[in-house]
Structure 1
Amino acid sequence: MQAYDVDLYSDQVILEPYDHYRAIRDLGPAVWLPKHGMWCLARFEDVRAALRDWEGFSSAQGIAANEVINTGSLGNTITTDPPKHTRMRGVIRTPLSAPALKDVAPQIEAEAERLVERLVKQKKFDAMADCAQHLPITIVSGLVGLPEKGRANMLRWAAATFDALGVMNARGTEALPHIRELHDYCADARTLSGLSPDGWAAALWRAADAGTIPHSKCPAMMRDYISPSLDTTIFAIGSLIWLFARHPEQWEQVRTNLSLIPGAINEALRLESPIRGFTRVLTRAATYGDTQIPAGDRVLLLYASANRDERKWEDPERFDVARDNREHLGFGFGPHICVGMHLARLEITALIKAFAHRVKRFEIGQPARAVNNVLRGFSHLPVTVH
């Protein structure tokens, strides 16, 4: 049995993870993590196969790396398996499908144009607070249809949610009161009475009234709109701007050929995956080479490592907007693939198009990384545009 005796949720590894991921990949297809009492799959083909095999790699016992969350948050969309997951996801997905988003695309594109025009006039701005957070907070919170208190706290609740999905270290423990606040908010009668009737959250309750889902699931499904819809998109936007600043020749290709935007987004999601990975529980024993993982053991599926696996990608640490990167796992894969990925692509595309018409070059100052148990991205990213 190959083991990697390092705390993957320490500040040091969170800030500089990629050498550790490579070391795990090189040890073998399945590696034991003594610090966390679970296994790790870090190679592309193994992670993708596990994500596809929901029957063998179950989400129904939680996807966190700790039992506090795994025993306390079961039954929401991401902690169920088909067919229950399929029914719940179908309701969540309705306003997030590509056809449904056609109606909101003009609003997102117009807001992106206004934002970028303002930022370019400023010339200097924080790519996180001033740019990456803007569309998710102003547009998405409105589409979800939360009362004002919910919109004001979405970022804090989302960051806490992802911290708690790692191990129960100091960050995970400190996240718990924020998560309880979110749970209480989504079940509060005052929240429900204040929902916008045209919003996505109110549509969940109408689906329950129609018998599609149980009413008891609605608060948890509201949380699915609040937490995953923000930080992943925000961090992806920040990482893409950072990569364009570090690789001006790649930005030159994109701004003069807008058909490369989808590939550029995929490349940023591959190279700087916003979500490091989630766990699953094996329902049956699995064999990897000489290693057998018993049924009932928990396995960390390390998306961010799989997306840099030398066995899959040629020169995987190179940022190349023309790469065929459609198979990246930045949005996950299989039944639990990110339900909001079309919205994320729409927001990021609108921003990049707006920048492409106005900016020849990005120059970055001293960035600061966010330290989160599950997410990777920047907390601050000073940018000057030329």
Structure 2
Amino acid sequence: MSDQATLSRPVSTADPFSHGFLRDPYPYHEALREAGPVVWLERYGIWAMARHEQVRGALTDWQTYCSSAGVGLSDFRKEPPWRPPSIILEADPPLHTRTRAVLTRILSPAAIKVLRDTFEREAEKLIARLVEQREFDGVADLAEAYPLKVFPDAVGISEEGRENLLPYGSMVFNSFGPRNDLFDLAMANAGPVRDWIMSKCSRAALAPGGLGMQIFEAVDAGELSEDEAGMLVRSFLSAGIDTTVYGLGNALYCMARYPEQWSVLRGSPNLIRGAFEEVLRFEAPVQSFFRTTTRDVEVGGVRLGDGEKVLLLFAAANRDPRRWDRPDTFDVTRRAAGHMTFGTGIHGCVGQAVARLETEAILTALAKRVASFELTGEPERRLNNTLRGFDRIPLRVVPV
């Protein structure tokens, strides 16, 4: 790297994995966006991108910014990962092309249509019960309860032991950051949780007709090996629950915090689908992922070397004033398409249609029955190295 490039690079002392940053990331995001298109994070010796244009650019250029060295801080080429790498999230073509083709087919629009009736019925049932209660915890009673029911049912795993799914997700998403207190806490009971997850990733553990068994049918068709199929079921179980739990919780929080927006939504239920996109933009459940450079590359006049880690701050890109008008305003009428929460390019979230279906079913059921939400106490955050959401949202609902 030339002296000139080194001298002109913007430098920040911010720690994106500190409790202060994770509790209120937005002032830090703004500082990083304004510092430049790419910023050197001194504390970790890595690069960060916080502007929409650069985050999107890196996500769509997998040849330069690879995923196979890990999408967290640690570089798989230098240190062994805590679990075998995901053959979809932590893979590049040609392996990624092959595994993703199977999941894309299993989660096709036609397949989602099949799930819709069940998901809507379960949403109606849950919301009817909660509205009758009047007061409940938006996280445990709704944002966790619903995905933990409908998604594992759809995958075809038994009900016994499902309480392991949330700790496993916490292990996975905290492991993308440094080995800090959040990582240690998530890993405290890692052995039994991991064993349970692995026991659910075999053909024998899955119900016929479910999404999991459909992955194994790709083995019979010669598209995957038996081991690869198990790895893809594991990807379902790690990525398919937590992100939706956090997304649903953030949606509830936004509706309670901005009651006028809930009124708008109730008056125009056709806005529900777009409103969830605005939740994803405004309070991104997935805050960031890493990539690793595969060659020297210049970004905004700064040279990044080969083999360097780059932190892509999705949530910062989602509030970039270069891309959005009034980025810090929550507006359910906004066209929020183009947000980075699901990623984009070949690694765009493969299960996003399922997350949308779940949230749409819940918001639709709520819109029919709930006139307004009221926070009965201060929501408590759940800190995570990658995800942003809540541990508790104490709510009271006013029925229609």
TM-score w.r.t. length of structure 2: 0.92
- Count of paired positions: 386
Tell me which moved more, 89-98 or 364-373: 89-98
* CA contact 1:165–1:374 (8 Å) conserved in 2: yes
Give the Cα separation in 1 of the matches to 2:150 and 2:350.
17
- Which of 25, 30, 34 is matched with 2:38 structurally? 30
**SS state of the match for residue 384, structure 1?**
strand
Partner of 1:60: 68
- CA-CA distance at 1:306 after TM superposition: 0.3
**SS state of the match for residue 177, structure 2?**
coil
- CA-CA distance at 1:237 after TM superposition: 1.2
Tell me which moved more, 179-188 or 274-283: 179-188
Give the Cα separation in 1 of the matches to 2:144 and 2:194.
23
| Residues 129-173 of structure 1: CA deviation (Å, up to 9, x unaligned) | 111112211111111122344523111111111011111112223
1:29-178 to 2 correspondences below 5 Å: 29-67=37-75, 70=81, 72-176=83-187, 178=189
1:270-349 to 2 correspondences below 5 Å: 270-349=281-360
- The amino acid of 1:194's aligned partner reads A
Partner of 2:22: 14
Give the Cα separation in 1 of the matches to 2:63 and 2:214.
30
Partner of 1:377: 389
Partner of 1:359: 370
- CA-CA distance at 1:47 after TM superposition: 0.3
Give the Cα separation in 2 of the matches to 1:187 and 1:285.
39
Q: Judging changes above 3 Å, is the alpha-carbon distance between structure 1 residues 149 and 359 closer, same or farther for their aligned structure 2 residues?
A: closer
Give the Cα separation in 2 of the matches to 1:268 and 1:235.
11
Give the Cα separation in 2 of the matches to 1:337 and 1:157.
22
Partner of 2:3: none
Give the Cα separation in 1 of the matches to 2:82 and 2:129.
46
- CA-CA distance at 1:22 after TM superposition: 0.7
- CA-CA distance at 1:188 after TM superposition: 4.2
- CA-CA distance at 1:235 after TM superposition: 1.2
**SS state of the match for residue 240, structure 1?**
helix
Give the Cα separation in 2 of the matches to 1:61 and 1:13.
25
Q: Judging changes above 3 Å, is the alpha-carbon distance between structure 1 residues 160 and 2 closer, same or farther for their aligned structure 2 residues?
A: same
- CA-CA distance at 1:327 after TM superposition: 0.7
- CA-CA distance at 1:94 after TM superposition: 2.9
Q: Which runs of 5+ in 1 are unaligned?
A: none
- Which of 198, 213, 229 is matched with 1:218 structurally? 229
- CA-CA distance at 1:204 after TM superposition: 2.2
| Residues 331-364 of structure 1: CA deviation (Å, up to 9, x unaligned) | 1111111111111111111111111111111111
1:231-270 to 2 correspondences below 5 Å: 231-270=242-281
Give the Cα separation in 1 of the matches to 2:201 and 2:251.
39
- CA-CA distance at 1:82 after TM superposition: 1.9
* CA contact 2:168–2:194 (8 Å) conserved in 1: no
| Residues 230-263 of structure 1: CA deviation (Å, up to 9, x unaligned) | 1111111111111111211111111110111122
* CA contact 2:87–2:95 (8 Å) conserved in 1: no
- CA-CA distance at 1:323 after TM superposition: 1.1
Give the Cα separation in 2 of the matches to 1:31 and 1:69.
27
- CA-CA distance at 1:190 after TM superposition: 9.5
Q: Percent identity?
A: 37
Partner of 1:209: 220
* CA contact 2:167–2:193 (8 Å) conserved in 1: no
Give the Cα separation in 1 of the matches to 2:188 and 2:94.
32
- Name segments (4+ residues, structure 1) moved above 3 Å: 67-73, 147-150, 173-192
Q: Which runs of 5+ in 2 are unaligned?
A: 1-8
- CA-CA distance at 1:179 after TM superposition: 5.1
| Residues 280-314 of structure 1: CA deviation (Å, up to 9, x unaligned) | 11112221223110111110111011001111111
TM-score w.r.t. length of structure 1: 0.95
